[in-house]
Chains A and B, each alone.
Chain A
Amino acid sequence: MTSELNLELADPKNRLKVTAVAHIKGLKHAWNRDRVLFDIDDAIWLKGQVVWLQGENGTGKSTLMRLMAGLEGVQQGAVSFPWHNTGWLRARGRGQICYLHQTPYLFAGTVQKNLDFVLNNLPRKRRAQALERLEHGLEMAALTHLVEQDASTLSGGERQRLALLRAWLLQPRVLLLDEPAANLDHKSVTLMKHIVLNLLEKNTDIMLSSHQNCDLTSLCNHAWQIENGLLYA
């Protein structure tokens, strides 16, 4: 098995396909003609790397993540996921790359209804598996007692944990966390760390942006720094 993998890796084309999570090439993004946000020549996010995306305010961390998630249109260059060849319109391509907003959006209704949204999006087999894991997930996120509570009444930490729990249920191939620990207390960050660790164990590739050192950033083994419009990977 190992020799087969080595053979595959010997071919440069395959090497990228097997080991790269994402490949950014010639990506340039500007708000207008005068202000180029960043101009990334070439960057590869390799499998196994838990990336901490760093940079000052306004350097384009969120924009880069949104571009990777397909939430913003690419102006110039390309962001590709070599393993991902289906569009989000097709069932197989949907939900494989998941971006979590800095301030998460929760659907109207209870916590359970928010989780049901994810469950109903999954194919039957995965839905059954997710349903089995649900109780464990609620415990990890310390949301078991809030399951019937209206999501709009949750605190900031609880909202963030619920948003992460939805992603945990989905188990995407790639998870992009935008400032997940901003304005959260230590307890919430610790709980989130456990969920993220669990996702890493399940082979989800994770990139997170954060200003400060925290429990979550301690999980990262690789850093990307955006500075003066350039990406230092």
Chain B
Amino acid sequence: MASLTETFIHALELLVSGDEKLWTIIGVSFRVSLLALMTAAIPATLIGFVLAYWRFPGRWLLLSMTHTLMAVPTVVVGLILFMLLSRSGPLGDWRLLFTQDAMIIGQILLCLPLLVSMTHTAFQSADKRAWETARMLGGHPLRCLWVLMHEVRYALIASLVAAFARIIAEVGCAMMVGGNILNYTRNITTAIALETLKGEYAQGIALGLVLFLLAMVLNLGMALLRGRGQLRNR
């Protein structure tokens, strides 16, 4: 086994040299996670808003369920989705198992509860007068919602960042419904798991570095947003 330093240098070489296999894996990760995030963002924001501003029977139950689903392990979501999408499952005819679409569905299910919970908190903490004033001044409901979203924009962006971080770093669901197929469904986390088992540490570390850099950029971005959010005075 090569030393840690040698492996690390090899990993950097792989990244810098533009190794096709490596960058395809990174591409799959970003494509799947970004599509899942974009699909989940709008319904999650609307649900978060409704939970924050409407009182209806079952609201408390829905909120509790959302919070519970946030804590469900990714492999459990993967397992349920696997059973639904497998040939003998109720959605077997869709033939989605071991495709990127299945991975996207899995990641939507993973990030939706987190997004709903965080957007709900954001809307609840918003100045209610923003929504009320927009309404009183004759605004279309969607325009009023836009005003409110602008009021809590930093918290909403933070929720998107947190959800993206959760899904791009998950391994259980992607492994189960994606199948870890090279150049198709192999993403960063499933590739790290596989390469480590094969003893190919350099690629694992290179991919790990990408995730680390991503986490750093996201955290720095969040810190900047928090700073700007706190500086606001209205």
Q: Which residues of A contact B (CB under 8 A)?
A: 69, 71, 73, 88-89, 91, 94-101, 103-108, 117-118, 120-122, 152, 166-167, 170, 172
Closest chain A residue to B143, Cβ basis: A121
Closest chain B residue to A106, Cβ basis: B234
Assuming A108-B150, A108-B234, is B136 touching A117 (CB within 8 A)?
Answer: no
A105's partner among B129, B138, B139, B143 (CB-CB below 8 A) is B129
Q: Which residues of B contact A (CB under 8 A)?
A: 55, 127, 129-130, 132-141, 143, 147, 150-151, 233-234
With A95-B138, A117-B137 given, name 13 new contacts (CB 8 A).
Answer: A71-B135, A89-B141, A94-B135, A94-B139, A95-B139, A97-B136, A105-B127, A107-B130, A107-B133, A117-B134, A117-B147, A170-B137, A170-B138
B233 cross-chain contacts in A, Cβ below 8 A: 152
Nearest CB of A to B151, in Å: 8
B150 cross-chain contacts in A, Cβ below 8 A: 107-108
A73's partner among B55, B129, B135, B139 (CB-CB below 8 A) is B55
A78 to B137: give the CA distance in the assembly, Å: 23
Closest chain B residue to A70, Cβ basis: B135
Q: List 27 A-B contacts (CB under 8 A).
A: A71-B135, A95-B136, A95-B138, A95-B139, A96-B138, A97-B136, A98-B136, A99-B132, A99-B136, A105-B129, A105-B130, A105-B133, A107-B130, A107-B133, A107-B134, A108-B150, A108-B234, A117-B134, A117-B137, A117-B147, A118-B137, A118-B138, A121-B139, A121-B143, A152-B234, A170-B138, A172-B138
Assuming A107-B147, A121-B143, A152-B233, is B133 touching A101 (CB within 8 A)?
Answer: yes
B234 cross-chain contacts in A, Cβ below 8 A: 106, 108, 152
A69 to B135: give the CA distance in the assembly, Å: 10
B138's partner among A73, A94, A103 (CB-CB below 8 A) is A94
Interface of A is mostly: loop
Nearest CB of A to B5, in Å: 51
A117 to B138: give the CA distance in the assembly, Å: 9
Which residue among B55, B134, B138, B151 has the maximum number of chain A CB atoms within 10 Å of its CB? Answer: B138
Nearest CB of A to B76, in Å: 39
Closest chain A residue to B127, Cβ basis: A105
B133 cross-chain contacts in A, Cβ below 8 A: 101, 104-105, 107
A71 adjacent to B132 (CB under 8 Å):
yes
Nearest CB of A to B146, in Å: 11
Nearest CB of A to B147, in Å: 6
A73 to B134: give the CA distance in the assembly, Å: 18
A101 adjacent to B140 (CB under 8 Å):
no
Closest chain B residue to A89, Cβ basis: B141
Which residue among B132, B137, B141 has the maximum number of chain A CB atoms within 10 Å of its CB? Answer: B137
A121 to B137: give the CA distance in the assembly, Å: 8
A91 to B136: give the CA distance in the assembly, Å: 13
A71 to B150: give the CA distance in the assembly, Å: 21
Task: Enumerate the 7 nearest inter-chain pairs by beta-carbon distance, A residue then B residue, closest first.
Answer: A95-B138, A105-B129, A121-B138, A105-B133, A94-B138, A152-B234, A98-B136
